Structure 1
Amino acid sequence: MREKLTEFIAQQPPSKIVMEACGSANYWSRQFKRFGHEVKQISPQYVAPFRMGSKNDKNDAVAIVEADRRPGMRYVPEKTQEQPDIQCLHRVRQRLMKNRTALINQIRGLGLGVPRMNPVAKKGAMLCER
């Protein structure tokens, strides 16, 4: 399916492509730009008011075109390939910090953070707090 879409877009003359911003929009934006197309992404919150009826591909396409025709429409900037990678690293770091804090709080809750503990438990608690 991806290959067919890429082949189809490659055969089209350079034109303006407007899409709703989503998880894969940046990937497709980069693919389409390789073939000389101008690509714009619109935030879903700006497309939703123009959608008539239930959410399906046809209604989405009509709503995207209507939203794009509005003067002053704000577009979502395309993310570079590095930006999602950096965002992923930040999320992993944030999760590690959250887990570390939870472990420290659990150790304190069990009373292992008190200086009266045995030497083995004290050393383990000190390692966790680093």
Structure 2
Amino acid sequence: MSNVSKPVIPAEVADVIEYLRFDEGRGGYSNQKIIQLYEMKTVQSEVAESLRKIPFDTLLAALVNGYERELTEEERREEAIAGEYEWYCACDSDYDDGVCRGILLTLNTLGIKIEGVNA
């Protein structure tokens, strides 16, 4: 098994790649056509400009190895809140429980991981 990792790319770029690959009207773009679109600096379309938001090497890795979408702020927030409800706090009072949940929500929202707390 190889140690190839999938790059994380912005959702906008992922949407463009998926649009180009599966666009019925054009028959779908191959990796080669997507790279040509990226390289043609004279093309000023929204699609080409979106592709150029990531480095060329990242685009190549995404096309060949696959990719993972970068979470938007809203998705990150939703994930943090969902993680909060899975957590258990062994506090003695409702106040202490609320403080524990507030700390966990803050850490998850900011993307901070602490071993033994939320990691």
The two structures share one fold, judged by TM-score above 0.5: no
Q: Which has the higher contact order (CA 8 A, sep 6+)?
A: 2
Give the alignment's TM-score, normalised by structure 1.
0.27
Which of the two has higher C-alpha Rg?
1
